Amino acid sequence: MKKITTGQEYINSLRNRKLKVYLFGESVEDIVEHPMIRPSINAVAETYDLANQEPELASATSPFTGERINRFLHITQSREDVVLQNKMQRRLGQLTGTCFQRCVGMDAFNSLYSTSFEIDKKYGTKYHQRFKAFITQMQSQNLVIGGAMTDVKGDRSLAPHQQTDPDLFVHITKRTSEGVYITGAKAHQTGCLNSHWLLVMPTIRLTEDDKDYAIVGAIPVDAEGITYIYGRQSCDTRSMEGGDIDVGNAQYGGQEAMVILDNVFIPNELIFMNGEYEFASMLVERFTCFHRRSYVCKSGVGDVLIGAAATIAEYNGADKASHIKDKLTEMTHLNETIYATGIAASYQSKPTESGAFLPDEMLANVCKHQVTKLPYEISRLAQDLAGGIVVTLPSERDFKSETVGHLLEKYLKGKSEIPTEHRIRILRLIENMTMGRNAVGYLTESMHGAGSPQAQRIQIARQMQLDFKKQLAQELAGIEKQRKKILVNEISDYFGRVFDVNV
């Protein structure tokens, strides 16, 4: 494939592929021109155009080739690299107002880079070199890599090997001298149809009995044996009605689908874990560390929603009221809190044994835990400022009706100098982002993406360092100093993480 350099070239690269895609129970022959799917493709295309428009932000120098590449394909070599990922994510959230779908793949291969290095160190395998060759190929062609981690899981009380149906977690069904075959399903896979390759990974820590589930490999999205079932989103069929006002954000959207794998072949050169079950937890934890601080993208989407809320207040003639200003201030405070925790996690990144950098795990989990809550409050305030009309607006066809259109034009007027259509469009955008199609990317994805709230609380609890903190309190309270030996390592770890110094 010729190297992709622009958003339009990316869109063209998705044409004429032999994908088996189902939507509404019917086969989709051309995803590029399907009105429900195309907005998600447009959002990914922005990741290419931004790299051309703002290269210092959205591109980087490859450590493998020395050439300039898209930052979504870059292995982090420094704290600055990790920080710039966040800044790029916020900018793309501002430009699209939705999920632009490439963060999962970026975080997956950055996690796999360091994990494969450590597998090789223990077992003398060649996964790391294979993976470097793969990522170099992706960089040379400027392709989109999607991450496929979340299994459908079946009975959550049972391990993968204990499930009545073994296919409820992706697993190896056959091994040959050339590679392996895998079967199973990956749920709610972001941007999978819009990717060129999928990186398949385990979703939980595994035991020796789960060896056949400890598989990581790369597969082209049009590989034989893959079926995609497109996910519904609220108000999604509005994009098929012919207009653009009722959609709210007609240009951009997110994408989720279920990926069914039926004896899909992975050749040896694209296998990066094969039975090393004890490293599944390392890969998952490093991925979630990257991906949970990647949710600073929601601050970019939040910027759009705050702008929409401020606009509707102005169109309604209420923007000077003190309580309106106070609500916009609160929305901004909450939004910047999301960004602050994510960017802090990136600034406190540390190098792994592979040389690639990994964000601060505690702050990454704090960031994601904030994201499970704050966008909901920002959305509530946006709906408050919009008023009840945000859910009772007549349709675009009514506005264009020769019979009743003039009545709506008259009675849905706000400030006299603002066209009624402008007011309607901004209301539809607020609806789209807080209840409609793009509420998936801003709200539900904020709750469940990269792990639901309890997953972050578990990781935060593991890193609380309560013994260290109790000792601080006891010493200041004049209580006899105890357990000094226990605390030496905790003090060193704490100052090493927070202040980047050795004690």
* pLDDT tens digits, one per residue of 219-241: 999 999 999 999 999 999 999 99
Q: Could you please report the per-residue DSSP string of 199-235? A: EE---S---GGGGGG-EEEEEETT-TTEEEEEPP-TT
Decide if 245 is inside a domain.
yes
List all residues 6 or more positions away from 115 whose beta carbon is below 8 Å from its beta carbon: 273, 279, 282, 283, 286
At 339, is the secondary structure helix, strand, or coil? helix
**Do 66 and 179 have their domain in common?**
yes
In a domain, 1, yes or no: no
The domain boundary residue, chosen from 271, 292, 313: 292
Domain boundary among 292, 310, 334: 292
Report yes or no on 2 lying in a domain. no
Alpha-carbon span 438 to 301, nearest angstrom = 10
Residues 6+ apart with CB under 8 A from 454: none
Q: What is the CATH number of the domain that holds 437?
A: 1.20.140.10
Pick the closest to residue 168 from 150, 155, 187, 152 (CA basis).
Answer: 152
Instruction: For residues 50-68, give the mean pLDDT.
Output: 97
Please determine, for residue 178, whether its predicted confidence score (pLDDT) is greater than 80.
yes
Would residue 158 count as lying in a domain? yes
The answer on 275 and 126 residing in a single domain is yes
pTM for the full predicted model: 0.94
223 and 317 co-located in one domain: no
Instruction: Please tell me the predicted confidence (pLDDT) of residue 1.
Output: 76
Strand, coil or helix: 102:
coil
Last residue of a domain, one of 292, 316, 336: 292
Q: What percent of the chain has pLDDT over 70?
A: 95
- At 503 the pLDDT is 46
pLDDT of residue 316 exceeding 80, the answer is yes
Mean pLDDT of the chain: 95
190 is in an annotated binding site: yes
Any domain includes 503: no
User: Are residues 79 and 148 part of one domain?
Assistant: yes
Cα–Cα distances in angstroms (integers) from residue 291 to residues 283, 346, 359, 449, 450, in the given order? 12, 11, 10, 9, 6
pLDDT band at 478 (very low <50, low <70, confident <90, very high): confident
- Work out how many domains the chain is built from and give that number: 3
The pLDDT of residue 10 is 98
Same domain, 225 and 248: yes
Cβ(40)–Cβ(46) below 8 Å: no
At 77, the pLDDT band (50, 70, 90 cuts) reads very high
Give me the active site residues, please: 99, 103, 190, 256, 291, 295, 297, 445
The answer to the question of residue 430 being in a domain is yes
Count CB-CB contacts under 10 A for residue 419.
Answer: 13
Q: What is the pLDDT of residue 96?
A: 98
Q: Residue 189 sits in which domain range?
A: 7-292
Same domain, 193 and 262: yes
Q: How far apart are CA 234 and CA 27, in angstroms?
A: 21
Q: 233 with 381, same domain?
A: no
Name the token pair of 474.
């006891």
Same domain, 49 and 161: yes
**Runs of H (alpha helix) within 400-452:** 405-411, 420-434, 439, 445-448
Tell whether 484 is covered by a domain.
Answer: yes
Residues 381, 280 share a domain: no
Task: Tell me, yes or no, whether 285 and 307 share the same domain.
Answer: no
Q: Is the pLDDT of residue 483 over 60?
A: no
Judgement on whether residues 352 and 368 belong to the same structural domain of the protein: yes
Residue 214: give its domain's CATH number: 2.40.110.10
Residue 220, class by beta-carbon neighbours within 10 Å (0-12 exposed, 13-18 middle, 19+ buried)?
middle
User: For the chain, what is the largest distance between any 2 Cα atoms, rounded to a whole number of angstroms?
Assistant: 85
Q: Tens digit of pLDDT for each residue in 417-476? A: 999 999 999 999 999 999 999 999 999 999 999 999 999 999 999 999 999 999 999 888
Quick one: 248 exposed, middle or buried, by C-beta within 10 A (0-12, 13-18, 19+)? buried
26 within some domain: yes
Residues 229, 178, single domain; the answer is yes
pLDDT of residue 487: 58
